[in-house]
Structure 1
Amino acid sequence: MTIEGLFIPLITPFATTGEVDLAALEALAHTVLDDGADGLVALGTTGEPGSLTEDEKRAVLDVAARVARERRAPLLVGATPPEALARPEITAALAVVPSFVRPGEDGVVAHFARLAADSPVPVVAYDIPYRTGQYLTAGALRRVAAIPGVVGVKYAGGGVNADTIDLLADPPAGFAILGGDDLFISPLLALGAHGGVLSSAHVATADFAELIAAWRAGDAATARALGHRLSPLSAALFAEPNPTVVKGVLHARGQIPTADVRLPLLAAGETSVKAALQRA
């Protein structure tokens, strides 16, 4: 399957009793696909995998895989050991650059080479230096792209800089570059990104799908207008740690049973949720 277009990194809804609400998750996955998303991400950081038990992770993955199979949609999966990835519904594993240790670019390249060699599915690297502490230049990302089995990157560099322009001006062949900074997705698409993995698109799926389609079709006027409207929405949705405001908005709309998150996250404040609802 092609890894391009709009991917939704699914939140994990919690019931009033505290457990994962799998029915709400399934309904949400179908809704975003109905509204124009091209694919799903299960157990990405937006899904709070660090606070889920192993049984809960398996249940979440089962739901996402079932929806992906029924809808013939690509599915990326994070926070999952290699042995759990060997199922036909999974398109690729989403693997973050090692955090905290800052292994250097050579170490990152070696890390992804080992991951790709051990993985039963292709790998999409997740480059997010403001969380990992490890910055990657365009040259390092090209080295990652050259690894057999690495098929793309979720690119969340914190904005647009010289390396961003370098990478997108001459992207590696067969290597999907998906914007991962919601606030900057429009300029990344304008520079040539192949799509995005966007938590904000839980809230305005059709609009983000139209934004991606407009840039890819060369309709700059439509794309600019959408980008100018959606960037403030993304800013509002990220006013508190992701996915707290997104969950607050989805709960306010009746799409999930609670806005609950698990520690170390705290639920978003009422002011932040109201501000995001006004932008939606």
Structure 2
Amino acid sequence: MLLEGLHLPLTTPFYPDGRLNLHKLEQNVAAYSKTPVSAIAVLSRNGEPTMLSDEETRQTLRAAVEAAAPEKVMLAGVSRDSVRETVAIADQAAALAYDAVLVAPPSLLQAADSARQSKELLIYFQAIADRAALPIVLDGTAVALPVEMVIELAAHPRILGLVDGQPTAERIAHLKQATAGIKREVTVTPVFAAVTGRMQTSQEAASMLSVKTLVGGGPALTVLPAAPTIKTRTKVVGFQILSGKTSSMLDALLAGAVGAMPAFAACAPQATYEVIAAWKDGDRALAEEKQERLQSAARYLEEEIGVAAIKFGCDLNGYFGGLPRLPLLPPGGEDRTQIELLLQGLRN
């Protein structure tokens, strides 16, 4: 699966009384599907995944993927503390036609400050990659995964890449150099965009016509279309790295990252995408200008406050943010005023 471009980490909407608001979730996904984002990540760290029950997790995953445009790569956040439960949710995501799963370190191993814990964390990722029905993307947005561990995991054929929460140029360059020998073939469109499983399913469905449509009744008939709905080709990629932070996004791209998944993208997808678009066009000066426009707002919302500020930013920019789930608190009056000022020039 191709992971290039802007990956949008979806927020999870709630009613004021804390209930899951699936209607607003569907509206957000439909709206994001009209933006130039390449992928939508459901229940990443930005989606408050630990706040949801298992049933709410299933409902959220189903509602999001059903509302998404077929050409958007869909990533499911599935992390649980045990391998068994993580694999179970990953398999549910596969049944819903997700393209890959995001796996973060379990809560009891996030520090990994001993040789034993580092080994356990390594085994956690390897066991999930071995058993899950979908390929995995390592989620290092909350805790930076040790470079040597990432290099070892990159060799696993079902581990596609990393979302790095500390994407310094030096770290990205080291990872790229150490994983340079990894080459994988992925399916893409003629313009080198990702081909999702849902796109292929849609093509297969388009080839099925009903005899009833043709002659007024009878069983289903498979009819070969005159030409395929989508044309595909292949592309060779390496271990794919995404920047998980807006403030260092351009540095990471210049060092070898293939895209980004910053929390800030949820409230300003167009402005965030413009950095990647300028970089892809080879216009470094414009990319630096676009990045500079984001810096103050992204640092304040993404790094100083977090998901509650991102949700308020969504409300300001035409998406539904709403309140976070307790114990997280919404921004206070001063913070709201500051966020409004910072986002004035970043409307979508």
Q: TM-score by structure 1 length? A: 0.88
Aligned partner of 1:73 in structure 2 is: 72
Aligned partner of 2:325 in structure 1 is: 262
Aligned partner of 1:119 in structure 2 is: 132
Cα deviation for residue 93 of structure 1 reads 1.0
Q: CA RMSD in A?
A: 2.2
Task: Provide closer, same or farther for how the CA distance between residues 167 and 61 of structure 1 changes in structure 2, counting only shifts above 3 A.
Answer: same
Task: Provide closer, same or farther for how the CA distance between residues 229 and 58 of structure 1 changes in structure 2, counting only shifts above 3 A.
Answer: same
- Contact 1:182-1:198 within 8 A present in 2 as well: yes
Aligned partner of 1:144 in structure 2 is: 153
Partner Cα distance (1:162, 1:222) in 2: 23
Partner Cα distance (1:214, 1:161) in 2: 18
Aligned partner of 2:122 in structure 1 is: 109
- Contact 1:240-1:272 within 8 A present in 2 as well: no
Cα deviation for residue 226 of structure 1 reads 0.6
Consecutive unaligned residues in structure 1, runs of 5 or more: none
Structure 2 letter corresponding to 1:55:
E
Aligned partner of 1:154 in structure 2 is: 163
Comparing 2-11 with 269-278, which one deviates more in the overlay? 269-278
- Contact 1:10-1:41 within 8 A present in 2 as well: yes
Partner Cα distance (2:278, 2:178) in 1: 21
Structure 1 letter corresponding to 2:46:
T
- Contact 1:184-1:231 within 8 A present in 2 as well: no
Deviations 1:48-70 (A, max 9, x none): 111112222111101111133x4
Q: Partner of 1:218: helix, strand, or coil? A: coil
Please state if 1:271 is matched with 2:279: no
Cα deviation for residue 238 of structure 1 reads 2.3
- Contact 1:236-1:272 within 8 A present in 2 as well: no
Please state if 1:37 is matched with 2:37: yes
Consecutive unaligned residues in structure 2, runs of 5 or more: 80-85, 183-237, 344-348
- Contact 2:10-2:46 within 8 A present in 1 as well: yes
Cα deviation for residue 82 of structure 1 reads 2.3
Please state if 1:177 is matched with 2:187: no
- Contact 2:169-2:252 within 8 A present in 1 as well: no
- Contact 1:125-1:153 within 8 A present in 2 as well: yes
Aligned partner of 2:87 in structure 1 is: 82
Comparing 267-276 with 36-45, which one deviates more in the overlay? 267-276
Partner Cα distance (2:261, 2:9) in 1: 6
- Contact 2:151-2:178 within 8 A present in 1 as well: no
Partner Cα distance (2:277, 2:319) in 1: 26
Please state if 1:215 is matched with 2:279: yes
> How many pairs does the alignment contain?
273
**Which of 164, 167, 172 is matched with 2:175 structurally?**
167
Partner Cα distance (2:39, 2:74) in 1: 6
Partner Cα distance (1:203, 1:25) in 2: 14
Deviations 1:166-187 (A, max 9, x none): 1245654321101112221121
Deviations 1:36-59 (A, max 9, x none): 111101111111111112222111
Cα deviation for residue 240 of structure 1 reads 4.2
Q: Give the number of the structure whose alpha-carbon radius of gyration is greater.
A: 2
- Contact 2:61-2:93 within 8 A present in 1 as well: no
- What does residue range 171-250 of structure 1 map to in structure 2 within 5 Å? 171-172=179-180, 173=182, 174-238=238-302, 240-250=304-314
Cα deviation for residue 85 of structure 1 reads 2.5
Please state if 1:59 is matched with 2:68: no
Cα deviation for residue 198 of structure 1 reads 1.7
Task: Provide closer, same or farther for how the CA distance between residues 165 and 112 of structure 1 changes in structure 2, counting only shifts above 3 A.
Answer: same
Aligned partner of 1:20 in structure 2 is: 20
Cα deviation for residue 163 of structure 1 reads 2.9
Deviations 1:46-101 (A, max 9, x none): 11111112222111101111133x43211111135323232252111100134443
- Contact 1:127-1:136 within 8 A present in 2 as well: no
